[in-house]
């Protein structure tokens, strides 16, 4: 092949990038392309910022290899075809993705490529195991329950990792095809992580030194002993396969528990491949209870971290401060919204989607449906009691005090039920939502 276009989407890295590796091996010239598509930008200032940082890092990595990143703005399909025609490409390569948006984009790209007599090849790389690579017995397209999926996933043969290319040869004149990459826009969260493969790989190296404690510690909210790699996986700054293989090589119970979490990520991708309405339509309609739509006050209190339930408020404020929230806090806050306040899970999902740097449809919607009881939970009626969760996973109250300064003066676990303190009325902090005598009805 003479010239190939590699369309980057949510795989912003050079290491273990099967589409890029194949193009650099099989074609004389390669055009690495990213399209700033208005259909995808502007949904989250935090993610837009991270994306631009990741693109700058990718561009620098390509420059070190003798090439550059061609950046265009517009509809991804139209721009990709335009670039491919300008360089007289024989083919286009990209990583396979499964959301509704990505599937339509791939279908349109295939049709346009065919029309212009170019090949279109989809490669793995967004998940450890491609969706559909393992299938349940009985002929279903995807697993609906995690445990059997995990067993099949663990036992499956994973593809081999591929090295980053040493050189990428641009065709003559290709650099003139793009616009200058804009500076990263402002995000909304002051303490958000910075994007990019370089930063992701640095974090992964550090994480592998701390991974042993993950098994025991991953729920300890104040200790922050999880990897915080989710945003780097979300944008493909890290290859999920390479992360899982690195953890497997490290071995031990901490690494095993971590690899199991990575499998949850794959699980929701294959669920989404089989159910593309996941962001709007309940997977288990019977669980879609009678949501209340009349309580704008409760929704706003939840969004801004003023529910009067300290562990919930701490989580919601961490989300806004960092563009990330501890998994246990995501579970507690989502359960409060759906199971206690009975507000529609889609409202919570949309709020998370605005702030989370790691926010993506399969994981955000999949987890929201799981918590709301409309998804893949085998115990859809479970209810988390937020106070008991707080006492268990933030036993000293340090997580709450870190994010809720109004309560910083309350020592120990008393911080979880401030309304029981004699001087509660002197605090600038609300009583629990829907309370009688200062205690939420549903907490009794
Ligand atoms: P670690 O504990 O270090 O886990 C390692 C990796 O495993 C994570 O980076 C992530 O890729 C994956 N993982 C861990 N738990 C889950 C899970 N429950 N589901 C899917 N993948 C998982 N994760 C997202 O990546 N994007 C989202 O939009 C998202 N929304 C969520 C919404 C709700 C209501 C809930 C309960 C969970 C959500 N999660 C989401 C899953 C999980 O909370 C985050 O992946 C995790 O907190 C990220 O932090 P970490 O990288 O330190 O995770």
**pLDDT, tens digit, for every residue of 400-414?**
999 999 999 999 999
CA distance 152 to 436: 50
- Mean pLDDT value across residues 85-107: 97
Say whether pLDDT at 437 is over 80.
no
Q: DSSP letters of 358-390? A: T--HHHHHHHHHHHHTSSS-SSTT----HHHHH
Q: What is the mean pLDDT of residues 75-80?
A: 98
* The pLDDT of residue 278: 96
What's the gap in Å between 228 CA and the centre of ligand 1? 9
* Helical H segments across 6-44, by residue range: 18-26
> If you take atom 46 of ligand 1, which residue's CA is the nearest one?
327
Q: What is the mean pLDDT of the chain?
A: 95
Measured in Å, residue 191 CA sits from the centre of ligand 1 at: 18
Going by CA atoms, what residue is nearest to atom 49 of ligand 1?
228
326 neighbors 222 (Cβ within 8 angstroms): no
| Window from 238-242, 265-269, 358-362, 438-442 with minimum mean pLDDT | 438-442
The Cα–Cα gap between 256 and 104 comes to: 36
Look at residue 439 in the predicted model and tell me its pLDDT: 78
Mean pLDDT on 95-112: 97
> H-helix or E-strand containing 354?
helix 345-355
Q: Is 430 helix (H, G, I), strand (E, B) or coil?
A: coil
Report percent pLDDT > 70 for the chain: 99
Residue 259 has pLDDT above 90, yes or no: yes
* Residues 295, 365 contacting (CB under 8 angstroms): no
Question: What DSSP element (H or E) covers 34?
Answer: strand 29-36
How far does residue 112's CA lie from ligand 1's centre (Å)?
Answer: 36
CA 217–ligand 1 middle distance (angstroms): 15
User: Ligand 1 centroid vs 274 CA: distance in angstroms?
Assistant: 20
- Checking if the pLDDT of 100 tops 70, the result is yes
ipTM given for this complex:
0.99
The candidate with the shortest Cα–Cα distance to 94, out of 197, 8, 25, is 8
The pocket around ligand 1, CB under 6 angstroms, is made up of 218, 226-230, 233-234, 258, 261-262, 264-265, 268, 327, 330-331, 334, 352, 356, 358-360, 363-364, 367-368, 371
Cβ-contact 336, 307 below 8 angstroms: yes
CA distance 159 to 151: 17
For residue 377, pLDDT beyond 80: no
Q: Going by CA atoms, what residue is nearest to atom 21 of ligand 1?
A: 265
pLDDT at 444: 67
Mean pLDDT for 371-399 is 91
CA of 230 to the centre of ligand 1 (A): 6
How many angstroms is it from 200 CA to the middle of ligand 1? Answer: 16
pLDDT for residue 295: 78
| Distance between Cα 440 and ligand 1 center (Å) | 29
CA of 332 to the centre of ligand 1 (A): 14
**What number does the ligand 1 atom closest to the CA of 358 have?**
26
Structure confidence at residue 287 (pLDDT): 78
Whole-number percent of the chain with pLDDT over 90: 90
Which residue is closest in CA terms to ligand 1's atom 10? 230
Query: Mind listing the pLDDT tens digit for each residue in 38-60?
Result: 999 999 999 999 999 999 999 99
The number of angstroms, rounded, from the C-alpha of 164 to the middle of its chain's C-alpha atoms is: 24
Of all protein residues, the one whose alpha carbon is nearest to atom 9 of ligand 1 is 230
* Confidence at residue 290, expressed as pLDDT on a 0 to 100 scale: 78
CA-proximal residue: ligand 1, atom 50 (nearest) = 228
For a pocket test of ligand 1, which of 46, 213, 230, 255 has the largest count of ligand atoms closer than 8 A to its C-beta?
230
Whose C-alpha lies nearest to ligand 1, atom 11? 230
Sign of CA dihedral 134, 138, 143, 148: negative
Res 148 pLDDT > 80: yes
Is residue 6 pLDDT above 70, yes or no?
yes
Whole-structure pTM value = 0.97
Which residues partner with 6 through β-bridges? Answer: 32, 93
Q: How far is the CA of 267 from the centre of ligand 1 (A)?
A: 12
In this prediction, residue 25 carries a pLDDT of 97
Length of the chain counted residue by residue: 444
DSSP state of 31: E
* Residue ID of nearest Cα to ligand 1 atom 23: 363
Q: Is the per-residue pLDDT at 442 higher than 80?
A: no
Angle 335-337-343 (CA atoms, 0-180°, nearest 5)?
130
**Rounded to the nearest whole angstrom, what is the distance from the C-alpha of residue 18 to the centroid of ligand 1?**
24
Backbone region of residue 28 per phi and psi (left: phi > 0; alpha: psi in -120 to 50; beta: other values): alpha
Nearest to 420 by CA among 311, 309, 338, 345: 309
Predicted pLDDT at 375: 87
The predicted model gives 127-140 an average pLDDT of: 92
Q: How far is the CA of 238 from the centre of ligand 1 (A)?
A: 15
| DSSP SS3 for 394 | coil
Which tokens in the block code for residue 411? Answer: 């020592």
Atom index in ligand 1 nearest the CA of residue 334 equals 34
**Residue ID of nearest Cα to ligand 1 atom 29:** 364
| Cα 429 from Cα 286, distance rounded (Å) | 37
Candidates 131, 129, 134; CA nearest to 149 is: 134
DSSP string, 103-154: HHHHHHHHHHHHHTT-EEEEE--SSSS-TTSS--TTS-SS-SSHHHHHHHHH
> How high is the pLDDT of residue 164?
98
Per-residue pLDDT for 135 more than 70? yes
How many helices and strands (H and E) does the chain possess?
17, 7
CA distance linking residue 356 with residue 378, whole number of Å: 26
Distances (CA, A) of 355 to 302, 317, 323, 391: 14, 11, 5, 27
Query: Cβ–Cβ contacts within 10 Å for residue 157, how many?
Result: 7
Quote the CA–CA distance of 94 and 34 in Å, as a whole number. 11
- d(CA 53, CA 57) in angstroms, rounded, equals 6
Q: Which mutation among 363, 365, 368, 389 tests ligand 1's pocket best, with the greatest number of atoms within 8 A of CB?
A: 363
C-beta separation of 321 from 386 below 8 A: no
Q: Which residues contact 368 (CB under 8 A, 6 or more apart)?
A: 334, 338, 345, 346, 348, 349, 352, 375
Whole-number Å distance, alpha carbon 194 to ligand 1 midpoint, is 18
Give the residue whose CA is nearest to atom 12 of ligand 1. Answer: 262
Q: Pull the structure tokens for residue 261.
A: 């979490």
Evaluate if residue 131 carries a pLDDT over 90. yes
pLDDT in tens, 209-247: 999 999 999 999 999 999 999 999 999 999 999 999 999
> Model confidence over 278-336: pLDDT tens digits?
999 999 888 787 788 777 889 999 999 999 999 999 999 999 999 999 999 999 999 99
* Per-residue model confidence as pLDDT tens digits over 150-193: 999 999 999 999 999 999 999 999 989 999 999 999 999 999 99
């Amino acid at each position: 092949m003479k010239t190939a276009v590699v369309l980057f989407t949510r795989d912003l890295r050079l290491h273990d990038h099967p589409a890029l590796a194949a193009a650099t091996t099989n074609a004389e010239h390669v055009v690495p392309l990213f399209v700033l598509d208005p259909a995808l930008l502007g949904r989250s200032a935090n993610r837009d910022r991270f994306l631009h940082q990741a693109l700058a890092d990718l561009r620098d990595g390509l420059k070190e290899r003798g090439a550059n990143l061609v950046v265009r703005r517009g509809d991804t399909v139209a721009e990709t075809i335009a670039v491919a025609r300008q360089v007289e490409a024989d083919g286009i390569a990209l990583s396979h993705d499964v959301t509704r948006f990505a599937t339509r984009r791939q279908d349109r790209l295939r049709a346009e490529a065919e029309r212009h007599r170019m090949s279109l090849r989809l490669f793995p790389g967004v998940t450890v195991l491609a969706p559909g690579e393992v299938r349940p017995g009985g002929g279903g397209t995807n697993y609906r329950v995690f445990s059997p999926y995990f067993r099949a996933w663990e036992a499956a043969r994973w593809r081999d990792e591929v090295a980053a290319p040493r050189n990428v040869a641009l065709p003559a004149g290709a650099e003139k095809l793009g616009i200058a990459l804009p500076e990263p826009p402002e995000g909304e969260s002051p303490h958000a992580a910075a994007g990019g493969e370089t930063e992701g790989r640095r974090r992964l190296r550090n994480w592998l030194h701390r991974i042993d404690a993950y098994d025991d510690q991953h729920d300890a909210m104040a200790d922050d002993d999880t990897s915080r790699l989710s945003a780097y996986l979300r944008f493909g700054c890290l290859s999920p396969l390479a992360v899982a293989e690195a953890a497997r090589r490290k071995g031990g119970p901490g690494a095993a528990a971590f690899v199991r979490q990575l499998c949850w990520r794959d699980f929701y991708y294959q669920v989404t491949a089989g159910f593309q309405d996941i962001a709007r339509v309940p997977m288990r309609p019977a669980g879609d209870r009678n949501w209340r739509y009349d309580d704008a006050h409760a929704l706003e209190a939840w969004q801004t971290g003023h529910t009067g339930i300290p562990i919930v408020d701490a989580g919601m404020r961490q989300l806004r401060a960092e563009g990330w929230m501890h998994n246990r806090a995501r579970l507690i806050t989502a359960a409060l919204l759906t199971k206690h306040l009975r507000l529609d899970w889609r409202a919570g999902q949309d709020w998370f989607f605005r702030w989370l740097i790691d926010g993506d449809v399969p994981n955000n919607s999949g987890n929201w449906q799981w918590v709301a009881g409309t998804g893949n939970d085998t115990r859809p009626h479970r209810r988390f009691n937020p106070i008991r969760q707080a006492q268990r996973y933030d036993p000293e109250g340090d997580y709450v005090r870190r994010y809720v300064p109004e309560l910083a003066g309350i020592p120990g676990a008393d911080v979880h039920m401030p309304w029981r303190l004699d001087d509660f009325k002197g605090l600038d902090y609300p009583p629990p939502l829907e309370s009688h005598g200062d205690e939420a009805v549903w907490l009794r």
